[in-house]
C-alpha cells in the first residue's frame, strides 16, 4: 500500500533530521543563483551554519513579485545546460513565472507524484486518462510521467474536446482520470447529451481533482455522478506542480510531503507563524530542487495544518482543503467573502446545478453582487412559481451566510460559459 514505505512512514525525528540536511544543501545551491546569492550576502546568511529547520525563519520570504521581478533567470542556480525543462504558472494577469528543472528535479518530482497517486490507489493495471492541458501547465506532463512511473497505461488526452474524452473513456476502459473539478462537473451535461451514464457505461473508479479550490460538496457531487472516489490533489508550479500535497484513502486532509518541502503556515498580515489547526497562508520551501530552489515561498493559498495523526500510518502532516487565495477574497460593503463560501452554500441547495459565476458591480457608490447559477432543467419546464421560490431560497441562504443580499439569476444547465482550464468564478466590474 506504500510506494516508498520508508519515506512515507518515517518517524518525525528522522524526518526532521533529513529536512535539516536537505535544507542546508538547498541553501548552498540557492546561493549560486543571482537572486539568493545577493540576498544571502546582504542578510549574512551562511548555509553551513544551519542546524535546525527553525533557522529557516532567518531567511526572508520569497513572493511571486520577486520571481517576476527576476524573470527569467534570476533564480536559476545551475548552468543553463543543466536544465532540461521549464514550466510556468497559469497566472492570467501579467507575465507568468517560469520554473526550470534539471534531470534530477524531474526525477524527484515524478517520484513524489507517483507516491501520491499510488497512495490514492492507482496501480500498474489501471488505464489513466490525463484530461489536463499538456503545455507549460504542470498538470499535464507532471502527471503523465508519474502515472507512467507507476506503470499504468497513460492516455495523454489533454484538456477539452468533451465528446472525444467520453469516447476515449469508453473505448479504452479508462479507470482513473485526472481532471479539474469544474470541468468534471461541466461534463455532467455532455454525458447527458450523449445518454452515457458513467456509472454503468464506463469502468471509472477514481479521479484526481485539483488545480482550483472546490468544496467538499463539489467533491461529493463528482463522486456520486461518476460513481467513483475523487482525491484532492494540490500543488503549484513554483513547487514543481502537483505532488506537493495529496489525499490518502482516508480522505481527511492532504498529506504534504515534508521530505520534499518545508511547510509553514503564517498569518498573512503579521507574517508570524500560526499554531497548528489555525488557518493562515501556506509558505513552502523546496528541499529537493537543484535547478531553481525557492525558499519560504508565500503561496497565497489559505489552509491549516490538521492536528493529529492520520489513520493511514503516514507521518507527513496533513493540510486542509484550500479555502481560497488571499488574492481571491472579495471585499463587498466591508465584508470579506471567498468564492468558495458561495459555492458551499449553493451546493447545499437541492435543485441547484453546479456551475456559477459571481459578478461584482458598482452603481454610484453602491457595490452589489450578482450570482448567476445553473439549476436543473426541470425547473424551467414546470411551474414558474417553483423557479421563483428556488431563486428566493438561494438569495436567503446566501444572505444568511455572507450577510449581503445578492441578486440571483437562474440559468438553464449549460447556459454559463465553462472553461476546460481553471474556472473563473468572479468577474469584478468595479475596477475601472
Binding site for ligand AMP (CB under 6 A): 89-90, 138, 210-213, 232-237, 241, 299, 301, 322, 325
Query: Per CB under 5 A, which region of 46-54, 245-253, 290-298, 332-340 contacts Zn ion?
Result: 245-253
8 A C-beta contact, residue 323 and residue 340? yes
Strands (DSSP E) found in 200-343 = 206-210, 229-236, 241-247, 254-256, 261-266, 280-286, 297-303, 305-306, 318-319, 324-325, 330-332, 335-337
- Pick from 83, 122, 166, 248: which binds Zn ion (CB under 5 A)? 248
Q: Is the distance from CB of 89 to CB of 96 less than 8 angstroms?
A: yes
Provide the 3-class DSSP secondary structure of residue 394. Answer: helix
Among 310, 349, 370, 411, binds Zn ion (CB under 5 A): 310
Residue 205 · residue 229 · CB < 8 Å: yes
Q: How far is the CB of 316 from Zn ion (least distance, A)?
A: 8
User: Taking the complex as a whole, how short is the minimal distance between the CB of residue 401 and ligand AMP, in angstroms?
Assistant: 20
Cβ pair 174, 167 in contact under 8 A: no
Whose Cβ is closer to Zn ion: residue 266's or residue 310's?
310
In angstroms, rounded to a whole number, what is the distance separating the alpha carbons of residues 215 and 180?
A: 13
Nearest distance from C-beta of residue 19 to Zn ion, angstroms: 20
- CB of residue 119 vs Zn ion: minimum separation in angstroms? 8
Indicate whether 7 belongs to the interface with Zn ion (CB under 5 A): no
Q: Quote the least distance from Cβ 207 to ligand AMP, whole Å.
A: 12
- How far is CA 365 from each of CA 89, 329, 362, rounded to the nearest angstrom? 36, 20, 7
Cα torsion at 210, 212, 215, 220 (round to 10°)? -40
The residue from 1, 79, 84, 250 that contacts Zn ion (CB under 5 A) is 250
Pick what 212 binds: ligand AMP, Zn ion, none; C-beta below 5 to 8 Å, kind-dependent. ligand AMP
C-alpha cell at 346: 449553493
232 contact, one of Zn ion, ligand AMP, none, CB 5-8 Å limit per kind: ligand AMP
Judged by CB under 5 A, the stretch of 131-139, 264-272, 304-312, 324-332 that binds Zn ion is: 304-312
Could you tell which of Zn ion, ligand AMP, none binds residue 322, using a CB distance below 5 to 8 A set by kind?
ligand AMP
Contact partner at residue 312 from ligand AMP, Zn ion, none, CB < 5 to 8 Å by partner kind = Zn ion
Q: Judged by CB under 5 A, which stretch of 98-106, 248-256, 354-362, 407-415 contacts Zn ion?
A: 248-256
Per the CB < 8 A criterion, the answer to whether 138 and 145 are in contact is no
Q: Which residues contact 71 (CB under 8 A, 6 or more apart)?
A: 95, 97, 98
Map grid coordinates 468564492 to a residue: 339
Given a contact cutoff of 8 angstroms between Cβ atoms, the answer to whether 132 and 104 are in contact is: no
The pairs formed by 394-400 with CB atoms below 8 angstroms and a separation of 24 or more are 394/346, 394/349, 394/352, 397/345, 397/348, 397/349, 398/342, 398/345, 398/346, 398/371
Considering beta carbons, is residue 239 or 373 the nearer one to ligand AMP? 239
Cell of 405: 443580499
- Residues contacting Zn ion: total by CB under 5 A: 5
Nearest residue to 134 (alpha-carbon basis) of 115, 154, 150, 157: 157
Nearer to Zn ion by Cβ, of 229 and 289: the residue is 229
Here's the x/- map for Zn ion, 190-229, by CB under 5 A: it reads as ----------------------------------------
For the chain, how big is the Rg over CA atoms in Å?
A: 22
319: helix, coil or strand? strand
C-beta closer to ligand AMP: residue 128 or 231: 231
Least distance in angstroms from the C-beta of 287 to ligand AMP:
18
Stretch that binds Zn ion, among 61-69, 78-86, 122-130, 250-258 (CB under 5 A): 250-258
- Under rule CB under 5 A, residue 306 binds Zn ion: no
State the nearest-atom distance from the C-beta of 407 to ligand AMP, in Å: 27
Strand partners, 337: 330
Q: Give the closest residue to 19 by CA, choosing from 275, 285, 267.
A: 285
- Given ligand AMP, Zn ion, none, residue 133, with its beta carbon under 5 to 8 Å by kind, binds none
Binds 310, which of Zn ion, ligand AMP, none (CB < 5 to 8 A, cut-off by type)?
Zn ion
Min. distance of Cβ 340 from ligand AMP in angstroms?
9
Q: Which burial class, exposed, middle or buried, applies to 351 when counting CB atoms under 10 A from its CB (0-12, 13-18, 19+)?
A: middle
Residues at the interface with Zn ion (CB under 5 A): 248, 250, 310, 312, 314
Amino acid at each position: 500500500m506504500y510506494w516508498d514505505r520508508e519515506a512515507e512512514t518515517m518517524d518525525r525525528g528522522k524526518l526532521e533530521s533529513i529536512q535539516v540536511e536537505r535544507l542546508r544543501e538547498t541553501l548552498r545551491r540557492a546561493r549560486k543563483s543571482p537572486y539568493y546569492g545577493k540576498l544571502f550576502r546582504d542578510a549574512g546568511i551562511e548555509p553551513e551554519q544551519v542546524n535546525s529547520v527553525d533557522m529557516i525563519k532567518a531567511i526572508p520570504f520569497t513572493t511571486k513579485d520577486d520571481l517576476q521581478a527576476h524573470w527569467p533567470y534570476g533564480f536559476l542556480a545551475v548552468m543553463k545546460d543543466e536544465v532540461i525543462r521549464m514550466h510556468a504558472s497559469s497566472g492570467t494577469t501579467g507575465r507568468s513565472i517560469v520554473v526550470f528543472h534539471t534531470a534530477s528535479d524531474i526525477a524527484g518530482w515524478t517520484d513524489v507524484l507517483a507516491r501520491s497517486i499510488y497512495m490514492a490507489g492507482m496501480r500498474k493495471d489501471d488505464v489513466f486518462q490525463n484530461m489536463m492541458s499538456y503545455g507549460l501547465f504542470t498538470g499535464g506532463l507532471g502527471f503523465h510521467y508519474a502515472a507512467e512511473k507507476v506503470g499504468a497505461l497513460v492516455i495523454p488526452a489533454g484538456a477539452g474536446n468533451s465528446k472525444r474524452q467520453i469516447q476515449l473513456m469508453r473505448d479504452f476502459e479508462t479507470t482513473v482520470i485526472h481532471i479539474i473539478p469544474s470541468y468534471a462537473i461541466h461534463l455532467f451535461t455532455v454525458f447527458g447529451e450523449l445518454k452515457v451514464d458513467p456509472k454503468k457505461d464506463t469502468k471509472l473508479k477514481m479521479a484526481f481533482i485539483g488545480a482550483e479550490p472546490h468544496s467538499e460538496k463539489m467533491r461529493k457531487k463528482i463522486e456520486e455522478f461518476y460513481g467513483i472516489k475523487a482525491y484532492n490533489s494540490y500543488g503549484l508550479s513554483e513547487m514543481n506542480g502537483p505532488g506537493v500535497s495529496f489525499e490518502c484513502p482516508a480522505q481527511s486532509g492532504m498529506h504534504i510531503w515534508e521530505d520534499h518541502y518545508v511547510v509553514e503556515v503564517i498569518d498573512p498580515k503579521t507574517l508570524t507563524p500560526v499554531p497548528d489547526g489555525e488557518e493562515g497562508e501556506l509558505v513552502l520551501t523546496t528541499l529537493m530542487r537543484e535547478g531553481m530552489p525557492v525558499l519560504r515561498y508565500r503561496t497565497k493559498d489559505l489552509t491549516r495544518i490538521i492536528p493529529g495523526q492520520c489513520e493511514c500510518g503516514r507521518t507527513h502532516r496533513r493540510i486542509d482543503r484550500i479555502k481560497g487565495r488571499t488574492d481571491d477574497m472579495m471585499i463587498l460593503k466591508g465584508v470579506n467573502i471567498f468564492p468558495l463560501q458561495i459555492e458551499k452554500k449553493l451546493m447545499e441547495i437541492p435543485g441547484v446545478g453546479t456551475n456559477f459565476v459571481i459578478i461584482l458591480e458598482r452603481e454610484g457608490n453602491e457595490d452589489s453582487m450578482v450570482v448567476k447559477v445553473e439549476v436543473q432543467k426541470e425547473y424551467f419546464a414546470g411551474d414558474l412559481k417553483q423557479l421563483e421560490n428556488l431563486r428566493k431560497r438561494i438569495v436567503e441562504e446566501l444572505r444568511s451566510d455572507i450577510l449581503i443580499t445578492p441578486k440571483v439569476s437562474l440559468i438553464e444547465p449549460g447556459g454559463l460559459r465553462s472553461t476546460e482550464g481553471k474556472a473563473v468564478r468572479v468577474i469584478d466590474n468595479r475596477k475601472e
